[in-house]
């Protein structure tokens, strides 16, 4: 059994007239819950929109928060992130390197391919050819008896929210072809939706994590005040992959 936590969309630096304290405090609350768990987790992942505007100052704050946590999250960028400052602050890399931030993490119980679905300067997502070729190679080189999770920021299909669907991940048939070649892929995990959502993609479970900074209302919930709800508490997800290869996900509000 492999148990891990999934958080998304911390948007560190988001300033709603509070200088960014609200986003920081919500992220701290979530990390405190994870830090205070009596048991160990096998991993923690963070699926993008780590910062709000992608500035070096926001990444400095994000790095401080994440480094201060008991579980260092595995992460990937979202549309609000910026590759150069992300690389510099979170990975100790070259701030001038604007290539996709793709990272493979081989843990004792699972492999995580953290893919960069961001398109610089755009809200929507796309896995570029270089990222898909990297993913194909990474999955081909991974042990077949160890489950693999393919993670990115943008959901590769509509989730039926008017706000996020137009800026979802496009070009998804190419992703489906890659994961279809690797039967040890257990699930696909993403963020961006700011609402927990479970569906299937290419015959695999696809789970979108809720947002830490805000929640997205569905069209039938009313959107008079805009689609984003800032009053609902931040949420996190626990995923369990059991020995039969079945994924179960639990969603937890953090008051
Ligand atoms: Fe977001
Ligand atoms: Fe996003």
pLDDT of amino acid 224: 75
Instruction: Write the CA distances from 132 to 84, 117, 138, 154, 188, integer angstroms.
Output: 20, 10, 10, 14, 14
Residue 190 CA to ligand 2 centre (angstroms)? 10
> Residues lining ligand 1 (ion), CB within 5 A?
9, 49
Mean per-residue pLDDT, 56-70: 97
The number of the ligand nearest the C-alpha atom of 195 reads: 1
The number of the ligand nearest the C-alpha atom of 154 reads: 2
Nearest to 210 by CA among 175, 250, 162: 250
Indicate the pLDDT class of residue 225, thresholds 50, 70 and 90: confident
pLDDT at 223 over 80: no
The four Cα atoms 195, 199, 201, 204 give a dihedral, to 10 degrees, of 120
Mean per-residue pLDDT, 14-20: 95
Nearest to 212 by CA among 54, 52, 57: 52
Of 5-19, 27-41, 82-96, 221-235, the one with minimum mean pLDDT is: 221-235
- Whole-number percent of the chain with pLDDT over 90: 94
2-253 classified as CATH 3.60.21.10: yes
The number of the ligand nearest the C-alpha atom of 8 reads: 1
Residue 173 CA to ligand 1 centre (angstroms)? 23
The four Cα atoms 85, 87, 88, 92 give a dihedral, to 10 degrees, of 170
Kindly state the helix (H) or strand (E) to which residue 253 belongs, with its residue range.
Answer: strand 247-253
Residue 81 CA to ligand 2 centre (angstroms)? 9
pLDDT tens per residue, range 23-32: 999 999 999 9
pLDDT of amino acid 226: 83
Residue 80 CA to ligand 1 centre (angstroms)? 7
pLDDT tens per residue, range 88-135: 999 999 999 999 999 999 999 999 999 999 999 999 999 999 999 999
Residue 1 CA to ligand 2 centre (angstroms)? 30
pLDDT of amino acid 155: 98
Residue 116 CA to ligand 2 centre (angstroms)? 12
pLDDT tens per residue, range 195-214: 999 999 999 999 999 999 99
């Amino acid at each position: 059994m492999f148990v891990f936590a999934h958080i998304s969309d911390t948007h560190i630096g988001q300033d709603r007239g509070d200088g960014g304290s609200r986003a920081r405090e919500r992220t701290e609350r979530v990390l405190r819950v994870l830090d205070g768990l009596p048991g160990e987790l096998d991993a923690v992942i963070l699926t993008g929109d780590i910062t709000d505007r992608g500035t070096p100052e926001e990444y400095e704050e994000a790095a401080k928060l994440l480094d201060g946590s008991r579980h260092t999250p595995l992460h990937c960028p979202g549309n609000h992130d910026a590759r150069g400052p992300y690389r510099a602050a979170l990975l100790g890399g070259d701030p001038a390197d604007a290539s996709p931030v793709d990272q493979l993490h081989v843990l004792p119980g699972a492999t995580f391919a953290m893919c960069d679905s961001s398109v610089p300067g755009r809200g929507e997502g796309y896995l570029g050819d270089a990222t898909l070729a990297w993913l194909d190679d990474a999955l081909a080189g991974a042990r077949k008896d160890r489950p693999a999770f393919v993670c990115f920021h943008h959901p590769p299909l509509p989730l039926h929210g008017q706000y996020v669907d137009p800026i979802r991940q496009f070009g998804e048939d190419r992703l489906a072809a890659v994961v279809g070649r690797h039967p040890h892929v257990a699930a696909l995990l993403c963020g961006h939706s700011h609402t927990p959502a479970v569906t299937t993609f290419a015959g695999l479970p696809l789970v979108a994590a809720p947002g830490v900074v805000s929640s997205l209302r569905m069209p039938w919930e009313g959107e008079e005040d805009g689609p984003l709800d800032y009053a609902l508490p931040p949420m996190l997800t626990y995923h369990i992959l059991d020995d039969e290869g079945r994924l179960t996900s639990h969603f937890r509000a953090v008051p």
